Amino acid sequence: MSPEIVYELVRRIERKDLSTAAHTWRVVLYTRALLEHFGITNDELRIATHAAALHDVGKLDIPDRILQKPGSLTDEEFEIIKLHTVSGYARMIHMDVSEEPILDLIRYHHERWDGKGYPYGISGDSIPIAPRMFAVIDSFDAMTSVRPYRSELGERAADNALVEIQSGSGTRYWPQAVDAFADLYRTGSLDFILHYFNDEVHVPEFQIARDEEFEHIRKDFGDRSVSSFPS
Ligand SMILES: [Fe+2]
């Protein structure tokens, strides 16, 4: 999948979902950090960052009146939102996307380790590794990003989010992903992502395939980030 198509889709998702570029950057950076922790580099890492950026591409198929609805959703509306997993997958197949981590992440990123997720309710090892790891990242980011309805910010929010993630280890989340994420958090390897990015911070235009962008960001924040980004 070409980077240009990924960028274009990401921009469309952000416009449609009213999500921010900062959210996309963060989940991509967490994904890079976690995969590097597992020793994954180069092409596999690049594809995984594309996958992370595109995880909610299926939201392009959800009506605005539901996706952008302020306040809580009805049961019926939530059932429609859940379809963004399978519609995103169908969209990628239609575009002849063949990279498995991208297809897997889009289709399965709301599955849970204990089988209580959606859309299929599969569990454990039946869930491919990419979405198993991403579930931790997506939840952590949702709990730590700056939103108007949540006043608790900063370090305490992140500490609390980690506790919450750890309490879901073995039920909601794959234990190995939780342990790896907790390790990265404890050693400060995620600080540059947490401290720099929040939904009110301007971030550069999304250019996920350009490693020099990541390198620049990492250096900007005092080399407190993941050990190395591949060039
Ligand atoms: Fe999603």
The rounded Å distance from CA 113 to ligand 1 centre is 16
Measured distance CA(210)–CA(46) in Å, rounded: 9
For the chain, the domains span: 3-220
Distance 220 CA to ligand 1 centre (A): 30
Percent of the chain with pLDDT over 70: 78
Confidence at residue 224, expressed as pLDDT on a 0 to 100 scale: 37
The average confidence (pLDDT) of the chain is: 83
Q: How confident is the model at residue 68 (pLDDT cuts 50, 70, 90)?
A: confident
pLDDT, mean of residues 58-76: 91
Least confident of 23-32, 70-79, 124-133, 150-159: 150-159
DSSP category for residue 173: B
**Ligand 1: centre distance to CA 57 (Å):** 8
Residue 229: pLDDT over 50: no
Quote the ligand 1 centre to 75 CA distance (angstroms). 17
56: pLDDT strictly greater than 70: yes
Say if residue 119 is preceded by a cis peptide, omega within 30 of 0.
Answer: yes
Average pLDDT over residues 69-88: 93
Question: CA 3, CA 95: separation in Å to the nearest integer?
Answer: 14
How many A from CA of 81 to the centre of ligand 1? 9
User: Among 26-40, 78-92, 119-133, whose mean pLDDT is lowest?
Assistant: 26-40
- Percent of the chain topping pLDDT 90: 51
Beta bridge partners of 169: 173
Work out the pLDDT band at 215, boundaries 50, 70, 90.
low
- Quote the ligand 1 centre to 219 CA distance (angstroms): 31
Express each pLDDT in 152-198 by its tens digit. Answer: 556 677 888 999 999 999 999 999 999 999 999 999 888 878 766 55
Average pLDDT rounded to a whole number, residues 1-24:
82
Residue 123 alpha carbon to ligand 1 centre in Å: 17
* Residue 53: per-residue pLDDT: 92
Residue 182 C-alpha to ligand 1 middle, in angstroms? Answer: 22
What residues pack around ion ligand 1 (CB closer than 5 A)? 56
- Per-residue pLDDT averaged across 68-96, rounded? 93
Q: Residue 25: what pLDDT?
A: 81
Nearest C-alpha neighbor of 142 from the set 120, 160, 130, 124: 160
Distances (CA, A) of 3 to 20, 111, 123, 195, 207: 19, 27, 32, 27, 8
The mean pLDDT value for 78-102 works out to 95
What is the Å distance from ligand 1's center to 107 Cα? 9
**Confidence (pLDDT) at 228:** 31
Identify the CATH assignment for 3-220 out of 1.10.3210.10, 3.40.190.10, 3.40.50.720, 1.10.3720.10.
Answer: 1.10.3210.10
Contact 102, 1 (CB under 8 A): yes
| Å from CA of 51 to ligand 1 middle | 12
Alpha-carbon distance 155 to 152, whole Å?
9
| C-beta separation of 38 from 180 below 8 A | yes
Q: What is the pLDDT of residue 14?
A: 83
Q: Determine the distance separating the centroid of ligand 1 and the alpha carbon of 223, expressed in angstroms.
A: 31
Gap between the Cα atoms of 121 and 19, Å rounded: 26
